[in-house]
Structure 1
Amino acid sequence: MTSQLDLAALLCSRLCHDLLSPVGAISNGLELLADERDPEMRARCMELLEQSAKASADKLKFFRLAFGAAGGFGEMVPTEEPRSLIASLVSANERLSLEWVVAEPKLAKPAVKALLNLAAIGMDALVRGGVLLVGAETRANKDGAGMTEIVIRATGPRIAFDATIGQALEGVLPTGDLSGRTAPAHMLHLLAKEQGGKLQAVHGPDMLVLGATMPAPTDLIG
């Protein structure tokens, strides 16, 4: 069984992997700026530095809430926050577009974590671009308990979805096969299990649908 320390290390590996490119671009840009004397080229270097710094900050903010304790929030999170985080990452890729169909003004923090992590999996799958749809609705189940239903739909000309990520979401991936790539899905499986929620994934050649059902406070039911 994967220990909490192992999982934390794998999540850190994923975070470092995603930050390596923009942080490396900042380092390279500073080196170029130090030697460049042409005003036009220096202006271009500054523009690239600003873009890389923004990309780094956007990813740190995203993973802070997706992976971390997100101490700046209580048990409920305004949905404008995950919308802003996802929109920032989508806007960094001109081949991606976002459809946001979340009407709820706020969601429980576990549901937000599920939404962000599933959205990240959906974005990773759109290797040739496409549309990322993010939806969530809170309602009562047949027993009257509040449940938040989340759906992430990635559609594009090609969907790249590693089967091991789907296995990690289901909790059937062998512990030894966990990596920085599958650790977020494994973390989601543990979160859903702890909360009494459910996860699902349906993969086709041009579409990936990811779903989560998480408990919600009854006062969120519209």
Structure 2
Amino acid sequence: MSGTSTPAPAPDILELAALLCSRVCHDLISPVGAIVNGLEVLDDTEKPEDREFALDLIRKSAKTASSRLQFCRLAFGAAGSAGAQIDLGDAQTMARGHLEDGKITITWNLPRLLLPKNKVKLLLNMMVIAQQTIPRGGVLTVDPVGEGDAISFRVTSTGLNARIPQNIADILSASEAGAIDAHAVQPYYTRLLAQDCGWTVKLAAEGDGIVVSAS
């Protein structure tokens, strides 16, 4: 009997759409649930301090939900018609709104350019992957590789206990990726975006940081 396993089949179009929807729902369920909890407190109490706490929870959670929706629309959604271009300045705004959460800060060194939407979607997904390499927080530094229409990206994450999640590295490299589920669909989608751009995405340790690069 061979010691090698047969790779799991790639998800078909319908399954990929369902998995991406599950991923978006996962990102939104926490802040939306907090809004519901806040509204229930408002319904159940007349104490001024409790009502103020509930209103503050609703405000913060609504802001978080809005930021995540805007980011997901750009990173996973259609974001305009086929052939559309997206301003890197808008991508920066969306990335900061979603990823800068008190633990993560972003150093953005990209010029302001209009780029094909799948390149921008790829960049945002690379940043999500980079965020997962520093679970205790840190800095994401976004740099250009090349310039003009040929520009690609390099995202460096630095932080305490930065590490490479092996399952993500395997999915990006298409080696022993295993079954693609709602937890694995984001790096798989990143790989598909890179292929559409004619690139591959690499995840590697470099000095004290982890680098996600596309070329």
What interval of TM-score do these two structures reach, taking the shorter chain for normalisation?
Answer: 0.7 to 0.9
Summarize the Cα distance change of 1:205–1:163 in structure 2 as closer, same or farther, 3 Å threshold. Answer: farther
Q: Which residue of 1 aligns with 2:60?
A: 51
Determine if the alignment matches structure 1 residue 125 to structure 2 residue 133.
Answer: yes
Determine if the alignment matches structure 1 residue 196 to structure 2 residue 205.
Answer: no
Using structure 1 for the length normalisation, give the TM-score.
0.84
Determine if the alignment matches structure 1 residue 153 to structure 2 residue 176.
Answer: no
The structure 2 residue matched to 1:110, chosen from 118, 124, 128, is 118
1:159 and 1:205 in contact (8 A); partners too: no
Aligned residue pair count: 206
Determine if the alignment matches structure 1 residue 168 to structure 2 residue 171.
Answer: yes
SS of 1:158's equivalent in the other structure is coil
Q: Which residue of 1 aligns with 2:21?
A: 12
Q: Write the deviation string for residues 45-64 of structure 1: whole angstroms up to 9, x where unpaired.
A: 11110110111111111111
Summarize the Cα distance change of 1:109–1:138 in structure 2 as closer, same or farther, 3 Å threshold. Answer: farther
2:164 and 2:204 in contact (8 A); partners too: no
The CA deviation at 1:101 is: 0.4
The CA deviation at 1:201 is: 0.9
The structure 2 residue matched to 1:27, chosen from 18, 27, 36, is 36
Q: Which moved more, 1:46-55 or 1:164-173?
A: 164-173
Q: Which runs of 5+ in 1 are unaligned?
A: 141-145, 214-222
Q: Write the deviation string for residues 133-182 of structure 1: whole angstroms up to 9, x where unpaired.
A: 12234437xxxxx42220111110022542111111112244x5212222
1:159 and 1:204 in contact (8 A); partners too: no
2:94 and 2:74 mapped to 1: Cα distance? 9
1:89 and 1:83 mapped to 2: Cα distance? 10
SS of 1:99's equivalent in the other structure is strand
Summarize the Cα distance change of 1:73–1:22 in structure 2 as closer, same or farther, 3 Å threshold. Answer: farther
The structure 2 residue matched to 1:81, chosen from 71, 87, 90, is 90
Q: Write the deviation string for residues 100-151 of structure 1: whole angstroms up to 9, x where unpaired.
A: 10013322211101110011111232211111112234437xxxxx422201
Q: Which moved more, 1:116-125 or 1:73-82?
A: 73-82
Q: Which moved more, 1:78-87 or 1:153-162?
A: 153-162
Summarize the Cα distance change of 1:136–1:204 in structure 2 as closer, same or farther, 3 Å threshold. Answer: closer
SS of 2:160's equivalent in the other structure is coil
1:47 and 1:71 mapped to 2: Cα distance? 34
2:42 and 2:208 mapped to 1: Cα distance? 42
Summarize the Cα distance change of 1:18–1:161 in structure 2 as closer, same or farther, 3 Å threshold. Answer: farther
1:159 and 1:37 mapped to 2: Cα distance? 46
The CA deviation at 1:204 is: 6.3
- For the aligned residue pairs, the C-alpha RMSD in angstroms reads 2.1
Q: Which runs of 5+ in 2 are unaligned?
A: 1-9
Letter in 2 for 1:76: Q
Q: Which moved more, 1:200-209 or 1:102-111?
A: 200-209
Q: Write the deviation string for residues 80-110 of structure 1: whole angstroms up to 9, x where unpaired.
A: 111001111233x212211010013322211
Using structure 2 for the length normalisation, give the TM-score.
0.87
